[in-house]
């Protein structure tokens, strides 16, 4: 069967990072997404090979001049038959283009209008530039990521852009569609990456409020402070990960490292975490990563080798689950999550900007004559 979002029609105003990531998730789930790229970014001729930007996979791209009245009218006509419009400009940009929520709602009262920014649609710095590192800094997340005595360490741009932004927007869109089934009306979604990053930190607010979390970075249970939740170097220069938090898993760690039976401090004796980490560091350096995999992989230690992206492609578990797939010769993450009846699949490789202008407009109800007139007016690429 088709993906669970089959039949849902989404207009994506082209952006970068978290917006395309959100659209990728929804396309993988079966949504019909029409990406609107600026006409000026469209090439005269398209290469034979697909675009290399995997975040743009699974949808059509049309080139539209958003400074042209005819171009804006083209988008508004698309809005009339859309379920969702998603955009990621700074506050006020869509209004200045003539594509703000009020204008779009007038054309389609059932439209879900999803807006994503770093700082949100309002607030003292809502109009300022920013990136993931800034949003997670202000949310209180970045200060707690890193090792003791070292500066905060940005965890790629996963927490603000993709977790707090793109993934939260996807949830918001699906939730608004569920609500619309009852009310019959669309609504505006204000997705702010600073809000999303803050939400991801909820458990650590609980820890801090209960006295179980220190503000000193790298001294806590989950931030590399403990010896049983960390990465360790092996004799071949590769690394492994250990997450033996629960007592039964910790007991297995002691057994498989040869420490079982020794007179050791209690697992949660924080004063001894440093000394225990030194012991485990020395032990893990005695064998290669592959040797430790033979000893620990598949046990209840809570263990995994630290793999690079190419290594992850080849791991037996990932291959068995087809966690990664190949499309047009390019390996990439498979759609997630998985459903028992609805089949999620990558609908196609990433298009070049404007590569599907005629095809995309035709699929959304434009006639050949209308497309030709738009092209003559330079409203489309």
CATH number of the domain where residue 282 is located: 3.30.1540.10
Q: Give catalytic status of residue 352 as yes or no.
A: no
Q: For the chain, what is the domain count?
A: 2
Is there a single domain that holds both residue 27 and residue 145?
A: yes
Of 273, 305, 337, the one marking the end of a domain is 305
- Residue 29, pLDDT score: 98
Per DSSP, the residues of 336-373 read: -S--SSSPP---SPPPPTTTTHHHHHHHTT--HHHHHH
Q: How many other C-beta atoms can be found within 10 angstroms of the C-beta atom of residue 123?
A: 12
- Residue 230, pLDDT score: 98
Give the C-alpha separation, 1 to 135, whole Å.
39
Range of the domain at 292: 229-233+239-305
> The whole model's pTM is what?
0.95
Q: Residue 78 belongs to what H/E stretch?
A: helix 69-80
Domain assignment present for residue 209? The answer is no
Is there a single domain that holds both residue 281 and residue 357?
A: no
Domain assignment present for residue 216? The answer is no
Residue ranges of the chain whose pLDDT lies below 70: 1
Domain assignment present for residue 88? The answer is yes
- Residue 252, pLDDT score: 98
The catalytic position among 65, 83, 132, 161 is: 161
Q: Residue 11 belongs to what H/E stretch?
A: strand 9-13
Is there a single domain that holds both residue 83 and residue 18?
A: yes
Is there a single domain that holds both residue 292 and residue 336?
A: no
The catalytic position among 127, 131, 300, 315 is: 131
- Residue 44, pLDDT score: 85
Is there a single domain that holds both residue 57 and residue 188?
A: yes
Q: Give catalytic status of residue 127 as yes or no.
A: no
Is there a single domain that holds both residue 366 and residue 272?
A: no
Is there a single domain that holds both residue 68 and residue 170?
A: yes
Q: How many other C-beta atoms can be found within 10 angstroms of the C-beta atom of residue 143?
A: 12
DSSP 3-state percent helix, strand, coil across the chain (nearest 5): 40, 15, 45
């Amino acid at each position: 069967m088709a993906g669970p979002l089959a039949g849902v029609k989404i207009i994506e105003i082209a952006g970068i990072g978290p917006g395309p990531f959100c659209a990728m998730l929804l396309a993988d789930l079966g949504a019909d997404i029409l990406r609107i790229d600026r006409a000026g970014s469209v090439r005269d001729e398209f290469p034979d090979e697909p675009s290399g930007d995997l975040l743009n996979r699974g949808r059509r791209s049309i080139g539209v001049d958003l400074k042209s009245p005819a171009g804006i009218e083209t988008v508004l006509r698309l809005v009339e038959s859309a379920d969702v419009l998603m955009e990621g400009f700074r506050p006020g940009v869509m209004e200045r283009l003539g594509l703000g929520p009020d204008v779009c709602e007038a054309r389609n009262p059932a439209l879900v209008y999803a807006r994503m920014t770093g700082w949100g649609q309002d607030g003292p710095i809502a109009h300022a530039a920013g990136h993931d590192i800034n949003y997670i800094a202000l949310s209180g997340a970045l200060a707690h990521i890193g090792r003791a005595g070292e500066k905060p360490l940005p965890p790629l741009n996963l927490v603000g852009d993709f977790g707090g932004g793109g993934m939260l927007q996807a949830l918001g869109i699906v939730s608004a569609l569920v609500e619309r089934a009852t009310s019959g009306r669309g609504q505006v979604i204000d997705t702010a990456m600073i809000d999303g990053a803050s939400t991801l930190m909820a458990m650590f607010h609980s820890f801090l409020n209960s006295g179980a979390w220190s503000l000193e970075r790298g001294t806590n249970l989950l931030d590399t402070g403990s010896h049983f939740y960390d990465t360790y170097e092996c004799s071949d220069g590769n690394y492994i990960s250990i997450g033996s938090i629960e007592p039964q898993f910790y007991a297995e760690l002691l057994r498989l490292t040869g420490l079982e039976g020794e007179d050791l401090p209690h697992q949660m004796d924080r004063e001894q975490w440093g000394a225990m980490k030194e012991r485990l560091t020395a032990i893990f350096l005695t064998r290669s990563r592959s040797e430790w995999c033979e000893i620990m992989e598949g046990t209840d230690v809570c263990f995994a080798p630290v793999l690079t992206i190419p290594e992850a492609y080849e791991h037996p578990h990932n291959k068995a689950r087809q966690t990664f797939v190949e499309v047009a010769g390019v390996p990439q993450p498979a759609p997630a999550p998985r459903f028992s009846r609805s089949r999620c699949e990558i609908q196609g490789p990433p298009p070049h900007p404007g590569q599907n202008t005629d095809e995309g407009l035709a699929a959304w109800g434009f006639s050949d004559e209308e497309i030709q007139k738009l092209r003559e007016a330079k409203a489309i690429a």
